[in-house]
Amino acid sequence: MSEAKLAEPIQTSIPAAPTKGLGARALGVIFAPRDTYAAIAARPRALGALVAVIVISASAISAFLATEVGKNAYIDQALSSMEGFGVNVTDQMMTGIERQAQYAPYFTTAAQVIFIPLGALVMAGLALALFNAILGGNASLKQVYAIVAHSYFIVALGALFSAPLFYLRASMASPTSFAIFFPMVDEGTFLGRIVGAMDLFRIWWLVSLSIGLGVLYKRRTGPIAWSLLGVYLIIVLILAGIRTALSGA
């Protein structure tokens, strides 16, 4: 009997839930994620969420980059990133970076329009591959894509929170990274790069996404969240190691 139960596919039928408008869904993902994701899974709609996330994120960051403070911060961030990968910045490269800074608000908006829907599609595809193909779930791509798209409201909230702090600090370094808890750690070291890459809003987003997938596939949130956070940590460690090796730090 126990073996038969283990062989049963994951049931992902979602009970009827009250219809929620876009605003209610956006706030619900932040304040009442479990009930909100249940409503999203029952009536999956991704387009409105994606448009709202793009508008919020792009407006917040582009407004900052349109200022002189933002342009200078963009240049500093670009130089820091290139030097972190061991690139020697020439005068010609510097001129190119300064030119790019003038168009940074437009590049940022274009990047949001392209990569937010594409990133959501990749995440949804990976979730389908794991939960449907491997674990026997039966959710549709539309359902999973809607869950991922709505989880991005956490990302948009992070952009709204960070943009004013970027301006006040005249820096594009994340004001919500773990580096704020470790001011004594040199940001150019391996450990410094790790704590600088670990971001509170990214962790919140992954936990929120885990809740959504747990609701959709009727599985416990904890194992999903720990798995996603583990993958996130591995990526951070790999990138920190590469940057440290290239910079010779």
Mean pLDDT by 10 residues, the chain (249 residues): 43 59 96 97 96 96 95 91 77 89 93 96 94 89 97 97 95 91 87 92 97 96 96 94 76
Q: What is the rounded CA–CA span in Å between residue 122 and residue 231?
A: 15
**In the prediction, which pLDDT does 6 show?**
36
Predicted pLDDT of residue 134: 85
Rounded to the nearest angstrom, the gap between the alpha carbon of residue 190 and the centroid of all alpha carbons in its chain is 22
175 Cβ contact list (under 8 Å, min separation 6): 161, 162, 165, 166, 169
- Asked whether residue 9 is domain-assigned, the answer is no
φ and ψ of 14, to 5 deg? -105, 125
* Residue 36 belongs to a domain: yes
In 3D, which of 152, 194, 154 has the Cα closest to residue 177? 194
Q: Which residues of 238-247 are buried (b: 16+ CB within 10 A; e: fewer)?
A: eebeebbeeb
- Confirm whether 5 is domain-assigned: no
Which two three-digit tokens encode residue 40?
């999203």
CA distance 225 to 236: 16
Give the chain's domain count. Answer: 1
Q: Are 173 and 84 in contact (CB under 8 A)?
A: no
| Gap between the Cα atoms of 97 and 90, Å rounded | 11
Residue 154 included in any domain: yes
Provide the pLDDT for residue 69. 96
| pLDDT reported for residue 18 | 63
Strand pairing partners for 177? 199
Residue 177 backbone phi and psi in degrees, to 5: -80, 165
What six digits make up the tokens of 15?
């009970």
pTM of the predicted model as reported, rounded to 2 decimal places: 0.87
Q: Is the residue at 13 inside a domain?
A: no
> Could you tell me the residue range of the domain that residue 46 belongs to?
19-247
For residue 92, is it within any domain? yes
Domain-located, residue 197: yes
